Structure 1
Amino acid sequence: MRRMKRVRRISSREDIFVDTIVYIVITFVFLVTLYPFYYSLVISFNNGIDAARGGIFLWPRQFTFDNYKAVFSNDQLLGAFFISVSRTVIGTIASLIATSVFAYGLSHKKLLFRKFYFSLLIISMYFTGGIIPYFILLNNLKLTNSYLVYIIPSLITAWYAILFVNFFQSIPEALKESAKIDGANDLVIFGKIIVPLSTPIFATIALYMGVYHWNDWYSTAFFTQNKRLRTLAYILIDLINRSDLTSILRGGTTQKDVAIAMQTFTPETIRMATMMVVVIPIVCVYPFLQKYFVKGIMVGSIK
């Protein structure tokens, strides 16, 4: 008995030591990951001229909202915000519908030419025609300089379709068969059985698609020249590539405003404030979808 107690004490001490090391490592990684975001937030609320002196690490030294006032006074930003929000909502919903319906068809093992369709899907993941043929294709389809260039090309994504297929195939066939016995067709089965049971995968892919649409500046830079179609992500990239404050604040501001701004702001603080405007909305959405990531696959029972 004494020997057993000694073994338990030793093992418990080892467990405590290992757990302590794990917690220390996790805490360190968490802080290293979080601090750049926190630092950007702190700088965005600090006076620009004061921030240029350096030495700011944990909180603003001269707290101010002037950076955000300058950002929101830019008329281009408000239009870009509307484009980004509408594109994210419409693009995500349209992509979910198109990709899930396409994947539901592929999930049927008796589908005619199923292997052929799957092969085309896999090939599209690894091989592309390149940027120039892609641009020519979009131009011939009259999608360049159009709002639809943000929606149509990303309707179906091969990798997300494969995830949907694997998830749909994990749902017991007995559910579908019992519904067919009751007279339900494939559309009813998909809408009333498959979709409710697939909430976790829908939420996960919706988050991925939403982040893609929100962060995409590539489409704006290469396929649109219309300033009204610029997105927030493109505005941020544009600000990062600029160096002088006059060009950063040129939208919606007068020369007098710029002269006053040069006594308060710096390009760095304006960039940080713009970055927060771009990042915070998607960060706020994530907690509402996170709960679906840990949900079980089945939320019902076989009839």
Structure 2
Amino acid sequence: MAAVEASPEQRLRGILVLAGRTLAVAGAYLLAGRLGLVRELVVEGAVFTPIWPPTGVAVAALLYFGLSAWPGIALGVLGVMLSITTDLQPAAIGTVVGSTAAPVCAYLMLRAVGFRPSLSRLRDGLALVFLGALAAMLISATAGAGLLVLTDKIAPHSFWPVWLGWWVGDAMGVLIVTPALILLSRIRLPLRLSRWPEALALGVTAAVVVPVACYGTLSLLYMVYPLLIWAALRFQLAGSIMCALASSVVATVAATDGAGSFSNLSHVEVMVKLQAFNGSMALTALLLSAVITEQQNTRRSVERACQELVEVLEHLTAGDAPQGRGPADDSGPDPFD
């Protein structure tokens, strides 16, 4: 059967939809980039952000729109670079390519392993962590740090510290921002607030504990983890990732200010401590919520299977009951039964 050729109106509509999608992705990437540049760290003469939200936006856009989102990502990378400096060097093309290729590779690897954006299985959380974040972001970090060395922006011996900061910043964007955007895309109105008192209690507790943990002079960052466990147990991914995102933002502000748990440290030590905290927190939030959600789904499946089995047995029992014997039949047992 021959394929039906699209009409000129349909082709025009498709072009307009693609153009609008590209501009929307580019705008979201640029906005996330401007937010990420609010807080910066300087390591070995290179400026980078502890969390680079645009990578999370890029991966989420690819998961939602597919590969057709990559032109918007490339345009967004270029827009962020132009917002920093108007004197773009030829090496900037390499940065655009590397920053676009990394989320595209993340998407391709996630699709290859059957990743589900719902993050309802442990394998989905592991795939996002190890493939989408840690593995794919090696591309952007290597391209970015390598181009800085090739263009004499940093010394060769500074490659590895800068590479590490770039890699972890991009990976944190995927680990923290991508799940948050996935959650936003799944919100349906009206919201069911059956457990709003507990959610409010969790929010108030986090608003008190997180600043104390980050700004306290006793380095009490570990106090955040009970909150993550509470959020994951009671609210699964929605609670744990929102708690992780808020804690990460507060910790990043404290680190860039050199306050609280991050005071009296060198720039490299601040980077290592902050990224270790953000990374372990994101891993805890993603994997714990995925395990809990998977267990709950398994329990519901078993309960449904048991209920269906009970209904089948009741139906078979009703079908095998003797016919013609009323409720007042007291003639005794049938000797032939």
TM-score by length of structure 2 reads: 0.29
TM-score by length of structure 1 reads: 0.32
